[in-house]
Amino acid sequence: MKPVFLIGFMGAGKTTIGKALSARLNKPVYDTDQMIERKYGKSISQIFELYGEQEFRKMETALLKEITEKSGIITTGGGIILTNENREWMKKTGDVIFLQCDFSSLWERLEGDHTRPLVYHRKKDEVESLYKNRLPLYLESATITIDTTDKTVEETVDEIIRRLNG
């Protein structure tokens, strides 16, 4: 099986759905943010604070290329689609599943979050424009798009499996 990348905006449930999908398919799951945190011994917030977003993006691209050598589920940070290099890499090496979700539902999960530097101290409008700017990139990157807005984790996993097999 080629790698399955889960992409989507912050709060879309990539990590949760990735774990459930991994259990159902009996495949390992890799999370780019967690691997970066482990590799550098720092939280994502600390990395943004100490080195800045650009440096984080370089780490993210390097890591993406390291993990796709294995087959499994890869849950990604919401900004993975920002570079052409990452988008092409994911499409070339695996299935890319976009977990689409209405901004209002995302915001319910994100509001007040202290762990995400691109949400912390930002107003709803600012985060919403980030979402709107990125939407075409998620759609362009995806080989499969799934609307998760009113679905449970199990329903989403069922649909992913069905679409992967279809």
Distance CA 28, CA 151 (A): 24
Distance CA 66, CA 70 (A): 9
Residues 21-50 that bind ligand S3P (CB under 6 A): 33, 44
Size of the site for ligand S3P (CB under 6 A): 10
86 SS3 class: helix
83-117 burial, b at 16+ Cβ within 10 Å, e below that, comes to: beebbebbeebbbbbbbbbebeebeeebeeeeebb
Instruction: Work out which of 4, 99, 116, 148 binds ligand S3P, going by CB under 6 A.
Output: 116
Take residue 101 and report the two structure tokens written for it: 């979700």
Of 94-102, 113-121, 135-143, 149-157, which segment contacts ligand S3P by CB under 6 A? 113-121
Of 83-91, 114-122, 142-150, 151-159, which segment contacts ligand S3P by CB under 6 A? 114-122
118 SS3 class: coil
Instruction: Work out which of 6, 10, 29, 64 binds ligand S3P, going by CB under 6 A.
Output: 10
Of 71-79, 86-94, 138-146, 152-160, which segment contacts ligand S3P by CB under 6 A? 71-79
64 touching ligand S3P, by CB under 6 A: no
Residues that bind ligand S3P (CB under 6 A): 10, 14, 33, 44, 77-79, 116-118
